[in-house]
């Protein structure tokens, strides 16, 4: 798979997906030693993350109509996650020169997070 083979596609020749998969695999194998400079989250960090998630869920609940269904919740959650949260990350990441893959990972996480919150809120009829 050297650079001299012209018959192979661009991505196979440059092995970008293979390199990314290798980096992810090695990081998973090393576990905590892969990021020695990052301390473990403290109890206060986890608590604050819960509080922030709760505020986001409460705001999403205010946006959902009273007669919302499961699918309505998923749709609104995905819309909020994609159009508000992920795009806000996108603006910040462009000015901080973060890679696109970081935006895809972080933005994708929040799209899924708000979709799940919306599904739960839409299915929950008190």
Q: What's the pTM value of the predicted model, to 2 decimals?
A: 0.68
Verify that 89 and 31 share a domain, yes or no: no
Task: Identify the three-state secondary structure at position 40.
Answer: coil
Verify that 2 and 56 share a domain, yes or no: no
Verify that 2 and 21 share a domain, yes or no: yes
Verify that 64 and 88 share a domain, yes or no: yes
Degrees (nearest 5) of the Cα angle 64, 70, 76? 40
Domain of residue 22 covers 1-38
Q: What does the longest C-alpha to C-alpha distance in the chain come to?
A: 65
Verify that 26 and 48 share a domain, yes or no: no
Instruction: Quick: pLDDT tens for 28-61.
Output: 566 555 556 666 777 888 899 999 999 999 999 9
CA dihedral (27, 30, 32, 36) in degrees, to 10, reads -80
Verify that 29 and 61 share a domain, yes or no: no
Which range among 4-18, 40-54, 58-72, 101-115 shows the weakest confidence by mean pLDDT?
4-18
Task: Identify the three-state secondary structure at position 22.
Answer: helix
Confidence tier at 111 by pLDDT (50, 70, 90)? very high
Verify that 65 and 110 share a domain, yes or no: yes
Verify that 83 and 31 share a domain, yes or no: no
| CA atoms within 13 Å, Cβ hemisphere of 123 | 9
pLDDT at 87 over 90: yes
Number of structural domains (the chain) is 2
Verify that 48 and 110 share a domain, yes or no: yes
Verify that 27 and 71 share a domain, yes or no: no
């Amino acid at each position: 798979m050297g650079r001299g083979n012209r018959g192979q596609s661009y991505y196979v020749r440059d092995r970008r997906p293979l390199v990314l998969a290798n980096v992810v695999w090695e990081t998973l194998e090393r576990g905590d030693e892969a990021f020695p400079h990052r301390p473990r989250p403290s109890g206060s960090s986890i608590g604050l993350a819960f509080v922030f998630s709760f505020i986001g869920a409460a705001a999403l609940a205010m946006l959902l109509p009273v007669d919302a269904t499961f699918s309505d919740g998923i749709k609104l959650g995905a819309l909020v996650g994609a159009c508000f949260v992920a795009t806000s990350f996108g603006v910040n990441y462009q000015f901080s020169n973060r890679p696109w893959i970081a935006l895809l990972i972080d933005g994708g996480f929040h799209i899924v997070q708000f979709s799940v919150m919306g599904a739960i809120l839409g299915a929950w009829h008190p």
